[in-house]
Chain A
Amino acid sequence: GAGVSQTPSNKVTEKGKYVELRCDPISGHTALYWYRQSLGQGPEFLIYFQGTGAADDSGLPNDRFFAVRPEGSVSTLKIQRTERGDSAVYLCASGPRGNTGELFFGEGSRLTVL
């Protein structure tokens, strides 16, 4: 596609439910990042993939959060037992080179946990 695509654009769920957020990066980009952005804040790093493997998952807040990228393209961020504090916009970005290239962001998935 022309840009990074994220689905769903909006997700409302109840506390305790399981959520999956999908990111389809720009074709050919090997680097993929997930960020979380709370209202009025800058994006906060969650996890970075280079190809299929998670090169850095130091930003995942706890073991309820997990992400996969099984074929090196589409990635899914999975959140178990959601809490109200998980409410935020989850941004995905991809780049042509892991360490030195520009990152291209999607429009984000807004998650609201009631």
Chain B
Amino acid sequence: GENVEQHPSTLSVQEGDSAVIKCTYSDSASNYFPWYKQELGKGPQLIIDIRSNVGEKKDQRIAVTLNKTAKHFSLHITETQPEDSAVYFCAARGNTGTASKLTFGTGTRLQVTL
């Protein structure tokens, strides 16, 4: 089955700086890679996703890059703000049968300090 590794486990940045979180996956058949933000006591919320036919996607201060050859993808947050502080999870999913589930990384706790 799919295995997703995520680094770093914790990340502290100053407000206004950029934050980068990296993930690798094992199953070359995976073709959908979402990123979720989870605040304390809440369920994960999708912030951006990318499909395997695209190398990069951007939405305001958030961007995701995908390298299918190396099987890794990254989340980039620019001009960080205190409200960006949360736990971020990457995930990967295939598109057929039992591969339709999302496999999550172990999470990155992002702390944006003033």
Q: Which residues of A contact B (CB under 8 A)?
A: 4, 33, 35, 40-45, 48, 55-56, 58-59, 91, 93, 98-100, 102-108
Contact = CB atoms under 8 A, between A and B. Distances in A.
Contacts, number: 61
A58 B105 CA distance: 18
Interface of B: 4, 6, 32, 34, 36, 41-46, 49, 89, 91, 93, 95-98, 100-107
Contacts of B104: 35, 42-44
B89 A108 contact: no
A93 B97 CA distance: 18
B107 A41 contact: yes
A102 B89 contact: no
Given A45-B101, A98-B100, A103 B46 contact: yes
A41 B49 CA distance: 21
